[in-house]
């Protein structure tokens, strides 16, 4: 029943959001078309439900050849590959809004584990590879909230970016996503949506730890 209701709400809310946000989305399309490299949307292969590959949609915020430049699939704070407009779209998470289309067609859900590139997914331990995407990937999730500023974490770390991501971020993110599957409910989903908005307004807040008191401990 939960799965059916969740899918119904995904379709309903993504359709509604696309209509309501169109006054914001259309000007962004125009701005991107006439700035940087003229790219509006960025389509990239990601690992999704049951580890199947799908194409995620985002507003273009980085140079076209970014995956083959610099730190590859890892993005740092003040990454030189990010365009001037893209910097603000990423900061506000507006660049993620085209994924409402992915939600509408069934590739994603509003709440779930963030879909990774294959190279990032392959860094997971086997126990996470086998289980993280037993639910549809999401526009937001508990891992996204806990690591809302992972670019800064990697930038400030003494470890090289890829090593920091693999050793410090990914194991805990995987544990959080398995926690989500064990606690999946409409209440949990609603609170994650609320906490996502809260984190955008108050990025230094740890309210999510007070709302979900039984989250795995970070090592």
How far apart CA 100 and CA 139 sit, in angstroms, is: 8
- Determine the average pLDDT of the residues in 134-157: 89
Give the model's pLDDT for residue 166: 83
Instruction: Enter the tokens of residue 71.
Output: 């730190």
Residues 6+ apart with CB under 8 A from 92: 200
Quickly list H helices, the chain: 2-20, 22-33, 84-92, 99-105, 118-121, 126-129, 142-146, 150-156, 161-164, 170-182, 186-201, 207-211
Positive/negative CA dihedral, 57, 191, 173, 158: positive
Helix or strand (DSSP H, E) at 54: strand 53-59
Whether pLDDT at 2 is above 90: yes
- Determine the average pLDDT of the residues in 172-196: 96
Helix or strand (DSSP H, E) at 53: strand 53-59
CB 25 within 8 A of CB 58: no
Degrees (nearest 5) of the Cα angle 81, 98, 5?
135
Entry pTM? 0.86
Q: For 118-133, write each residue's pLDDT tens digit.
A: 988 999 999 999 999 9
Name the 3-class secondary structure at 44. Answer: strand
Give the model's pLDDT for residue 219: 66
How far apart CA 52 and CA 203 sit, in angstroms, is: 32
Give the model's pLDDT for residue 148: 85
Give the model's pLDDT for residue 75: 73
Q: For 27-75, write each residue's pLDDT tens digit.
A: 999 999 998 788 899 899 999 999 999 999 999 888 876 766 666 677 7
Percent of the chain at pLDDT exceeding 70 = 95
CB 117 within 8 A of CB 47: yes
């Amino acid at each position: 029943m939960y799965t059916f209701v969740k899918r119904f709400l995904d379709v309903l809310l993504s359709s509604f959001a696309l209509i309501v946000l169109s006054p914001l989305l259309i000007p962004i399309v125009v701005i991107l078309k006439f700035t940087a490299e003229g790219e509006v949307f960025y389509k990239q292969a990601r690992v999704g439900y049951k580890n199947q590959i799908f194409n995620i949609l985002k507003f273009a915020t980085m140079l076209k050849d970014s995956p083959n430049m610099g730190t590859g699939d890892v993005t740092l704070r003040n990454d030189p590959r990010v365009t001037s407009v893209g910097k603000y779209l990423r900061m506000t998470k507006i660049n993620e809004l085209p994924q409402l289309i992915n939600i509408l067609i069934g590739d994603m859900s509003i709440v779930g584990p963030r879909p990774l590139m294959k190279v990032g997914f392959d860094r997971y331990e086997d126990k996470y590879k086998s289980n993280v995407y037993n639910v549809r990937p999401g526009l937001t999730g508990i891992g996204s909230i806990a690591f809302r500023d992972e670019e800064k974490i990697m930038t400030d770390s003494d470890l090289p970016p890829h090593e920091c991501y693999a050793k410090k971020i990914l194991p805990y993110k995987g544990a959080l996503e398995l926690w989500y599957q064990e606690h999946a409910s409409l209440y949990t989903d609603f609170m994650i949506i609320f906490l996502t908005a809260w984190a955008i307004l108050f990025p230094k807040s740890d309210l999510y730890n007070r709302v979900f008191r039984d989250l795995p401990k970070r090592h």
